[in-house]
Amino acid sequence: MRAIWLREFGGPEVLVPGTAPDPTPGPGQVSIDVAHANITFVETQQRSGRPGPFRVTPPLIPGNGVGGVITAAGPDVDPALVGRRVVTATGGSGGYAERAVVDASAPIEVPTGLPLDEAVALLADGRTAAMLIDTVGVRPGDRVLVEAAAGGVGSLLVQLAARAGGRVIGAAGGPRKVDLLPGLGADLAVDYLLPDWADRVRAASGGVDVVLDGVGGAVARAAFELLDPGGRMISFGLASGEWSPIPPEAATARQVTLLRPDVPPARLRAYTEQALADAAAGRLRPLIGQRFPLERAADAHAAIEARATVGKTLLDL
């Protein structure tokens, strides 16, 4: 089968097209013919060899999220699973390939009427967005600041926060991204690359009640200063590449709660199922900004790192 190999850490060019043996499902496993592979920012960090909780060891086929059709079932697995359209995590690797083998309990069936590419775009990002909104508890009337609002997770957060009754302020980097935000449900859209972006938010809303931080660094610090007493802040990404946590004592002094998701695996699966159901019902729309054929996985990683992407990036097989 066709696959992308990571044999050494480095820039996007270390992602090299090649071949690999077709995987065979063993006991308790199924094989999936992959139609689309999900790319996350974390995978670009893994490829570069940056230290972190999700470090990988080459050589391997990267990729942790795919969508396709189950084509084979291993021993002791219900053969009725064959033919189902599913999305699934792969366990940390093996996603950038034509076929993947996973535990039979891992795949989630895609609801009827939901295109497979949209389901893949929601596999990780939909789960994350639903979890974040649930954790911060957006209430009607809350002023909600979403950073990196034109990204895969951020674009979903804008929609979910608006659906919960929040007054959404979307912050994104650059005019192209900012222009997308009103169509997603943002009441105000600002460019956080401009030095006065926080002043614009303050002038328009007086402050905010919730910060969903997908950028980190100076943007996160400025967003924290916009929170009124009783506000809540949670982080979900580092689009700036800089981790700069808010000191707990600073949060206490300003009567702000810093939140961190603590969700059991079973609940994570439920969040994914919720996102897929919402999309199938027309209540949630993933923003698929760009697609690349499998062989151009290196170009996909380069585009993500250059901040040239909007929404979700997929590999199409």
On whether residue 180 sits in a domain, the answer given is yes
Shared domain check, 207 and 87: no
Residues of the chain with pLDDT > 70, as a percent, come to: 97
Shared domain check, 80 and 7: yes
Taking Cα atoms as reference points, which of 286, 289, 224 lies closest to residue 258?
224
Taking Cα atoms as reference points, which of 98, 122, 99, 101 lies closest to residue 110?
122
pLDDT of residue 53: 62
Q: Domain count of the chain?
A: 2
Least confident of 40-49, 110-119, 225-234, 276-285: 40-49
End of a domain among 240, 259, 278?
Answer: 259
Task: Please check the confidence at residue 84 and state whether its pLDDT lies above 80.
Answer: yes
Shared domain check, 21 and 134: no
Which domain does 58 fall in, by range? 2-109+287-316
Shared domain check, 218 and 137: yes
pLDDT of residue 251: 87
pLDDT of residue 83: 97
pLDDT of residue 124: 92
On whether residue 179 sits in a domain, the answer given is yes
On whether residue 102 sits in a domain, the answer given is yes
Reported as a single tens digit per residue, the pLDDT across 205-227 is 999 999 999 988 899 999 999 99
Reported as a single tens digit per residue, the pLDDT across 277-317 is 999 999 999 999 999 999 999 999 999 999 889 999 999 99
Least confident of 4-13, 45-54, 210-219, 286-295: 45-54
End of a domain among 210, 242, 259?
Answer: 259
pTM: 0.94
pLDDT of residue 46: 92
- Please give the structure tokens belonging to residue 307: 């901040």
Shared domain check, 136 and 99: no
pLDDT of residue 246: 87
Instruction: Give the 3-state secondary structure of 203-271.
Output: HHHCCEEEEEECCCHHHHHHHHHCEEEEEEEEECCCCCCCCCCCCHHHHHHCCCEEECCCCCHHHHHHH
End of a domain among 244, 259, 274?
Answer: 259
Least confident of 17-26, 38-47, 82-91: 38-47
Shared domain check, 69 and 36: yes
On whether residue 279 sits in a domain, the answer given is no
Neighbours of 212 (CB within 10 A): 31
On whether residue 178 sits in a domain, the answer given is yes
On whether residue 114 sits in a domain, the answer given is no
Shared domain check, 239 and 138: yes
On whether residue 115 sits in a domain, the answer given is no
Query: Predicted confidence band at 42 (pLDDT cuts at 50, 70, 90)?
Result: confident
Shared domain check, 144 and 101: no
pLDDT of residue 50: 81
Whole-angstrom Cα distance, residue 122 to residue 312?
Answer: 9
On whether residue 267 sits in a domain, the answer given is no
Shared domain check, 221 and 99: no
- In contact, 169 and 146? CB cutoff 8 Å: yes
Question: Which CATH number goes with the domain that contains 180?
Answer: 3.40.50.720
Average pLDDT over residues 37-56: 86
Whole-angstrom Cα distance, residue 55 to residue 139?
Answer: 37
Per the model's pLDDT, the better-predicted residue between 69 and 50 turns out to be 69
Question: Which CATH number goes with the domain that contains 71?
Answer: 3.90.180.10
Neighbours of 196 (CB within 10 A): 11
Task: Please check the confidence at residue 52 and state whether its pLDDT lies above 70.
Answer: no
Query: Predicted confidence band at 245 (pLDDT cuts at 50, 70, 90)?
Result: confident
Per the model's pLDDT, the better-predicted residue between 41 and 26 turns out to be 26
Query: Predicted confidence band at 1 (pLDDT cuts at 50, 70, 90)?
Result: very high
Shared domain check, 251 and 173: yes
Residues of the chain with pLDDT > 90, as a percent, come to: 86
Shared domain check, 253 and 141: yes
Shared domain check, 146 and 44: no
pLDDT of residue 215: 87
